[in-house]
Chains A and B, each alone.
Chain A
Amino acid sequence: MENATLITLISLGLGLLSGVVLHRSDFCLAGAIRDIFLFRQSPLFPSLVLLITLNMVFIEIARLSGFLDYQLPSSLYGLPALTTLLGGILFGVGMVLAGGCVVGVLYKFGAGSVSALVTILGMMLGSIVYVGFHPYWKYLSDKTRLSEAATLPQLLVVNQTLVLLITVFVLSLVILRWYRQGVLVRPSFVRGYLQPWIAGVLLAMITLVSFAVVGMPLGITTSYSKAGAFIAQFFAPVWVASQDFLQARGFNYYSPLADSMLRAGPGPYFDGLALVQFPLIGGIILGAFISSVQLKKFSVHWRVPVIQLFSALIGGILLGMASRMSPACNVWHLLGGIPLLSLQSLLFFGGLFPGAWIGTRLLTRFVVRA
């Protein structure tokens, strides 16, 4: 493959940058939605909306100028089904119990969090658990398909730019209101804190670069499946070989750097996804590690209440399963799919809210009493 080293280095660079930005701003995508239900106000939610709105603007400008060309449905975002909504709900529960989403736990692990490591292991386990019921879930997914349209403009048979213009206009008014209320800027009492709204702007730029250079938005969860499959391969090679889900390589995407279509899958082998995602994951962890060491805030604390570690594990398993059921994670859907107006991503996003509500109820009842 052409430019494999360059693809790896660019992904590592995007990961490093993301890791530093996420750690400095504590930009927790899970917390942004959870806090709406837990505290009735979410300090990070306005920055998340800003990030999604900027992604809409950046990606559409790139599309209109002929820089990007994404025709949906594709391997990136398929057709909407009820199973995506259910996956979103389960993901919402998981991210609250885990105390972070699939990316959040990476930067927290990079700063020394033991519970984040437990969640990461849980996500690998959850991905493998999903393999067991994949055929049934796929059947259910096919049976509950909601439309042959992949995006909102396709469904409404209207121009994509028009839908985006209206959406961006409405969201801009909301953001302007937040700006006037002063909620975009967070009060800070610590050194080295990066304002979440600045983090939102930087993450939107990172997503655009990822789309344009790597050929897809930021995504990592297939790699949890791969990592789980590598471990399963060691203990149960016959089972791994017999599972269609782990043997399939149905994910195809155009890599601008390799100048060709790359095939990939969730099984235990190195392919076009591992080439991008493994360095991205390593980069986020390393970036957060460097940031925390530089701030003298890298610390490992083993004295974590057992119930919290249990919650982190269960949350991780749910995240791992839900990421395959959806069939992607929140970063993939929120940062990449919603700006493309993918119906799958909108369904997933809709599911996150009831999921986060359920997760919050479970958290305050069983894990920590407020």
Chain B
Amino acid sequence: MSADTPSTVLVDVRGFVCPSSLLVALRELNKYREALRKDHFIIELMVDNHDSTNRICGAVKSMGYDFAVTDRDNSYCIAVYRARTLKDADL
């Protein structure tokens, strides 16, 4: 792995009972907040319902991070990062 390759943490909350998916996602975002402030760090959240996806994105936005939602088969993937991270890695 080169120095520019961002490290990724995967958090899978698919199938979780509401509102555990949202609470666990927020907890993980909080846990990795130091790492997220630095470059080259991405949290990928796997979510399977609309409401949690929208609310996680809303929370991420208000925390000042950047994010991208990918509509995958059977789930949504929310990548949370700082814009510089992806720019450097040329993703």
A residues with CB within 8 A of B: 24-26, 28, 30-31, 34-35, 38, 43, 98-100, 108, 111, 113-115, 186-193, 296-305, 308-309, 311-312, 363-364, 367-370
Contact = CB atoms under 8 A, between A and B. Distances in A.
Given A99-B20, A189-B57, A302-B15, A370 B51 contact: no
Contacts of B27: 369-370
B74 A303 contact: no
A100 B51 CA distance: 13
A114 B15 CA distance: 7
B35 to A, nearest CB: 20
Interface residues of B, number: 27
Given A28-B51, A190-B53, A370-B26, A34 B19 contact: yes
A299 B54 contact: no
Interface of B: 12, 14-20, 23-24, 26-27, 48-51, 53-55, 57-58, 69, 71, 73-76
A300 B48 CA distance: 10
Contacts of A34: 19
Contact of A312 (B17, B26, B55): B17
A74 B49 CA distance: 39
A188 B54 contact: yes
B74 A370 contact: no
Nearest to B57: A189
Contacts of B58: 187
* CB-based closest 3 A-B pairs: A301-B15, A26-B51, A299-B74
B18 to A, nearest CB: 4
Given A43-B55, A301-B48, A370-B26, A38 B19 contact: yes
25 contacts: A25-B50, A26-B50, A26-B51, A30-B18, A31-B18, A43-B55, A100-B18, A115-B15, A188-B54, A189-B54, A189-B69, A190-B50, A190-B54, A190-B69, A190-B76, A192-B50, A296-B74, A297-B74, A299-B14, A299-B75, A301-B14, A303-B15, A311-B17, A312-B17, A367-B20
A190 B72 CA distance: 11
Nearest to B74: A299
Nearest to A360: B19
Given A30-B18, A99-B18, A301-B48, 15 more contacts: A26-B51, A108-B18, A113-B15, A187-B57, A187-B58, A190-B71, A190-B76, A193-B54, A297-B48, A299-B75, A304-B15, A312-B17, A369-B27, A370-B26, A370-B27
A177 to B, nearest CB: 21
A159 B73 CA distance: 55
